[in-house]
Each structure stands twice: as structure tokens, then as C-alpha cells.
Amino acid sequence: VVYIKEFESNVNNNDLRPCINHKNESLKYFCSTCNIPICKECTTTDHSRNHEYMPLNDAGSHQVAKLQNMVENTRLRLNELKHSQKTFDRAYGMLQTQYHKAQHDINETYNFYRQLIEERKHELIKELDNGFTEKQTILTSQMQKIDETLTKANQPLDFSDRLFKNSSTTEILLYKKQLENKLNTIIQIMPDPNMHSAFEIEFVSNFQAIQTGVRNTFGYVRTSPEMATNNHYKPRPIAPPITSMNNACHNHNHHSGSSPTKLHHQQHNNNTPQSQSQLHTSSLLNGLEMLTLSSNLKKYSTPTPLSFQSSTNDINPYELWSTGGTSITSPISAPSVPTLPSLPPLSSSASTNGTTDLGVDMVMDSLSNLDYSTLPQHLMLPSRPNGSLKRHKMIYHLKFGEFGVMEGQFTEPSGIAVNGQGDIIVADTNNHRIQVFDKDGRFRFQFGECGKREGQLLYPNRVAVFRQSGDIVVTERSPTHQIQIYNQYGQFIRKFGANVLQHPRGVCVDNRGQIIVVECKVMRIFIFDCNGNVLNKFTCSKYLEFPNGVCCNDKQEIFISDNRAHCIKVFSQVDGQFLRTIGSEGITNYPIGVVINSHGDVLVADNHNNFNITIFDQNGNLISALESKVKHAQCFDVALMDDGSVVLASKDYRVYVYRYLTTPGTNGVTTAITNTTNSSSPASPISSSSTTPQITCTSPNQQNQIDQIQQTLSTSNGYC
């Protein structure tokens, strides 16, 4: 903490500091025009024309009081900002609850539709069977009559043949009348050749009507209006804004000597209140971050930008789905979303003579341009205390598994991996097998049994996958401590490493198909090719304490999670040289695994207190941090799916899937957004009062609307 009174006491004690521009001169004056202390030489050079200045002793008390007033006003604004953050936290929780409710309603509607469609299917099949049976009976009867007619018709024909052959003309004429009557009767009973059309049967359907009917009757997702055009919560700048703010582009130089990070302000022709709100808020947060002077804070000091939005529109009543253009609304309506308090502008200004108003970004530029290396130690700000990292809440959207030895059950799911098709591969250690599930947690197949022969497994503890071929790499702990490779269908290919490995703990496959294994206890790294040949090995006992997970990037760098060192250690894949550390105690406590996503971000998983995911870039700069809302038992391993989901193997004999998404925030900072669906748990009830934008899914009232749905299905599905 920087105590302002120290400045005044130093001035009164004539503890003058040398001028930055003139090293031989002491600071004796204060230039009100430039708002900086100056020396006597400065009054004749840079500050000579049209500049107002006064002795430093005379200006000190006034300027210090002015700065103190600004500090207090800023502290008040930050308290209000913290209060609004709690409001957003509550809104976030309500949004999760409403999301679960909407998802539950969609599933209920789908099941209801499926039941009705199934009933309609059986009705049509029964109708088809009845029609077919009726037509079949008629056809059979007609065929029997035709057979009888043919038999009877052949009798006069045979008689005629014998008559023509053996009788005279007179005898033929005697039987002529009878034969003509018989033959005329036969001709009259001949069936119509087109009568087969009376026995046709087919199913007639209208796919377009079905599509329209489903869209009109299934329901729809209703969200509250977008809040971009409202300005009920607009964080104000600490001081009046700069007149040329839209054209400003400032470089904030970190005190540790890193390359400057440019903060770009988005330029909008319409200059909406939403964009102004985002601009002021991100400037404030980035500015406060620049106040952190401790050099060891850089690797986790990146702020997470926030976008403040609100809406003045009342939430519409909960609308049920409708058919045929008839809208049915529920009498229950949700109250409007309360608006957050607006922050009034500060009365103090940091400029004089009306030349320009000093805004937040200019203040931060001034701070960033200070030479912090010259500050005495007692003026340095303390680094962030352990455990004070703000984490976003998240919950799993899928879980599967239970204790047991049957399919889909585990006794120790200690290793997990994901292949290119999204299948989840689990090493079930004490069951001596590998189980494969699809991305929705449905069991596909398993392979392995207890033993030491080919195709058998003994305590498999970690798995990895060749992304191109889909081959599965399995490591076994003692007593075999070896590597086995199976193809994507679970067929044995080869095994190796028993003569060199002792305690394999983590395994991964790089983009060149090389297998990287890290060993605990002996602290070694082995690199094999796909045939089991040792390409390289390193001893890292000087740097590792308890490694338990490994991954690699496309720059031939190996990332190892060190559980006892509370960080990620990075080594060169070429020569094993230690390169850097990512994370630290208080940020990544007791990590259990590390993975790299498609954006190149490093995800560190730990289960200290809760299940936590901390996201860094590959240089160790913090991007975002998340924590689960539910506590897990001890976690074994993590893997990453292509859609960004994190798969977690837990000691409670289950596999959990957490979905998160990284999106570019303001000022180029990446913000983590969690998708918190939970298909395995029932939806929570929605409170009648809410501080979050409403999101609901209108679904059918099964008692009141069944007749309308059945009518729609009957008319649009098809008929026989």
C-alpha cells in the first residue's frame, strides 16, 4: 500500500529527489500545467512558456489532498463494482437453473412427442393390417370363385369338343341352344381386367406438413431481449473521458521488461452505450492491474474483462407452445429484471486550465511510464496473496459410471484419454481392462483381462491415443511397468519398455507419433518411437518432486504437472533442458494433470478444495480460471475433447465432462465461458423473482394440449 502522507512528509523534510531530465538538479517546483514536479532547470527549458508552476512545498499539501480525494472516490466506485459483481453472480446462478429447467422441458417435450408418435405409428400399422386383411380376404374369395368358374366352364367346352368330333350336324344342332346359353353365361362372368386397382394399398405422408407441424407445436426457446440498447448500468470513468478517446491507442509497458501489450479501443460509428460500457470497464480493470508493481505477479495478473449490460424491458409472461396459430399463455408472469445502480461521475479532475480531461486510460499510461525500478522497497505494492484468484463457477454437463465389474462400471478409473472420434477411453486399473465409451457416455466395448500374456493387462494406469491411427497406448504400473499398444478396436499390437521403465506415471503422444512417458519416484522422462525403441531419456530429479501428468506442444516442449511443486514444469524434448515454470502455489495447488487445447492454451487441472481448471498461455500468463460448483472425490486424470470439453476421471468411480469455451475478450484477453448443462440431474425449480435475463423453453401441457397434438400428428404425419 502506498501511503500518500509519506510524500508530504518527505517534501517537508526536504528529502528532494533528483530530476529525471536533469540529474544534477533537485525537484523544487510543481508544474500545474503538466501536473509533475520539476527542477529549476526545467523552468527555463521545457516548462518556461505559458506554464504555471509554484514551489513544491506550497503545492504539496494541495496536490496530495487532491490525490487522496481521487483515491477515496475510486475506492467507493470499486466497492460499488464489487456489489454489482455479486448481482451478476446471482444472475449467473439463476441462468444456470433456468438453463437446466429449459433443457428438462425440451427432453420432456421430446419424450411426449415420441410417445404420441409411437402411438400414432401403432394406430397406422393396425389400420394397415386391417386394410390388408380385408383386401386379402376379398381377393382370396374371388380367386376361389374364379377357380370354381374355370372348372365349371371347362365342362361345356369338353362336351363341345366331343360333340364336334363324334356327332352329326343334326345332333350338333340339337345341343346348340344349350351350349350357347352355357357359353354366354361363362362370357358374362369373366372378371374385369382392371379390377386389381380396387385392391391397392399404400401409405401417404406429407413431410413438409410434418416439419411445419413439429415446428409449430414442439415449442421454442424464448430469451429476454438483448440488452445492447439499454444503459441502466454504465460504469463511468474515474475522471471525465478524453475528447479524442476513440482515436487513442496506448501502450502499457509492464515493469518487468516484457514487450508492451497494446490496448485497442473498438471504434464504432454508432458508438452504442454497450460499447462505451465495455470500453470504460475494461479500461478501469486494466488500469487497476497496472498498479500492481511486484514483478513476480506478471504471470497471473491478467485481468478478466467484463461486459455490463442490462435491460429495461419487463420479462414477458411464460408462454406455452401453440398450434394452429392459437397462442396459450400462462397466467404466471416473471417480474422484470431489476436494473443495477448507475455510477455517478467523480467530481475531481486531474487536469488544469481546461486543456484536456484526464481519463482512466491516460492515468494508466502515466502509471505505466513510471520508472518503477527507482522506487524504494516500501513503496512497492505487495503481490497477490495465495488463494485470492477469482474463479468462474462451472458444473458438469455429463457423468457416467459406477462401482462394479460389469460393463460401464469401474473400480479405479485412473487414466483417461479421448480419440479423434470423440470416444472416451478409460483405464479401469483394478479391473485390468480398458473401456471405451462414446462422447455421450454410452458404453461401446472393452478389452483386456488380468494376466501377463499378449492381449492381457495388469493394473493399467494411464492411456494415450495416436490421433491419426487411433491406436491406444496403455501404461502398466508395477509389477510389469511396461507399455502396450492396441489398435482402435482393442486388438493387441505390441508391448515394450519393461526392461527400462520402473514407475510410469504419465503418458502422451506427440504430433510426430513419439510416445513420451514420465516416471515418478525416479523422476525420468523416456521418449519411444511407435515400435518401442528408446529415442531419448532424461533425468529430472533436480526439478521434479511428484510428476503425475504430461503433454507436449508442437515446439518439442514437454509439459509435466508436478503435484507437490504446485506447478507445471516445462522441459525441452530435444535435450531435456528445464525451460520454465507455469503456475504456482495458490494458483495451481496440487495439479493432477495438464493438457493443451486447439488454441495452444495450457489447461491445468487440480482438485484442491474443488475441481479447478486454470488456463494459461504457453509462456505462463494467466488467461482464466474456473472451479466446479460440486466437490469431487480425489481426481485421477483429465483429458480434452475436440469441442473443448474437459473429461475428468474421479475416485468416486465416475467420469465427468465439463464444457468450457474461450472467447476473445476486450483488450485481447481471453475469457472462459462455461456451458453448464447437466443432463444427468433433474432441473432445479425457477424462482419467481430473478435478477437474470429469462430463458425458458415453452413446452406442451400434456393434459390440456394432447388433443391438439394428436390432431396435428393425424393430419400431418400421414394416413393409409
What value does the mean pLDDT take over residues 192-221? 80
Q: Is 414 helix (H, G, I), strand (E, B) or coil?
A: strand
207 band by pLDDT with thresholds 50, 70 and 90: confident
What value does the mean pLDDT take over residues 193-207? 76
Asked if 501 contacts 519 with a C-beta cutoff of 8 angstroms, the reply is yes
Q: What is the pLDDT of residues 283-315, one digit of tens each?
A: 433 443 433 333 333 434 333 333 333 343 433
151-170 b/e with 16+ CB inside 10 Å = b? eebeebeeeeeebeeeeeee
Q: Which uninterrupted H or E stretch holds 659?
A: strand 655-664
Asked if 523 contacts 540 with a C-beta cutoff of 8 angstroms, the reply is yes
Identify the pLDDT of residue 720: 54
Q: What is the pLDDT of residues 42-100, one digit of tens each?
A: 888 878 777 888 888 787 788 888 888 989 998 898 888 888 888 888 888 888 888 88
Residues 685, 681: Cα–Cα separation, whole Å: 12
Identify the pLDDT of residue 718: 55
Asked if 439 contacts 426 with a C-beta cutoff of 8 angstroms, the reply is no
23 band by pLDDT with thresholds 50, 70 and 90: confident
Sheet holding 602-606, edge to edge: 392-394, 622-628, 612-616, 602-606, 591-596
What value does the mean pLDDT take over residues 569-593? 93
pTM assigned to the model: 0.49
Q: What is the pLDDT of residues 97-118, one digit of tens each?
A: 888 899 899 999 999 989 999 9
> Residue written as cell 478478466?
304
User: How far apart, in Å, are the Cα atoms of 431 and each of 305, 404, 427?
Assistant: 47, 9, 9
Name the residue type at position 606: D
User: How far apart, in Å, are the Cα atoms of 27 and each of 53, 56, 60, 434, 448?
Assistant: 12, 8, 12, 74, 80
Residue 360 confidence (pLDDT) above 70: no
Residue 518 confidence (pLDDT) above 80: yes
What value does the mean pLDDT take over residues 11-23? 69
Q: Where is pLDDT greater, at 471 or 712?
A: 471
Residues 16, 27: Cα–Cα separation, whole Å: 6
Residue 427 confidence (pLDDT) above 90: yes
231-249 b/e with 16+ CB inside 10 Å = b? bbbbbbbbbbbbeebeebe
Nearest residue to 668 (alpha-carbon basis) of 267, 263, 260: 263
Q: Where is pLDDT greater, at 561 or 681?
A: 561
Q: What percentage of residues in the chain have a pLDDT greater than 90? A: 34
Cell numbers at 36, concatenated: 509533475
Q: Where is pLDDT greater, at 419 or 12?
A: 419
Residues 586, 567: Cα–Cα separation, whole Å: 10
Instruction: Please state, rounded to an integer, the average pLDDT across all residues of the chain.
Output: 73
374 band by pLDDT with thresholds 50, 70 and 90: low
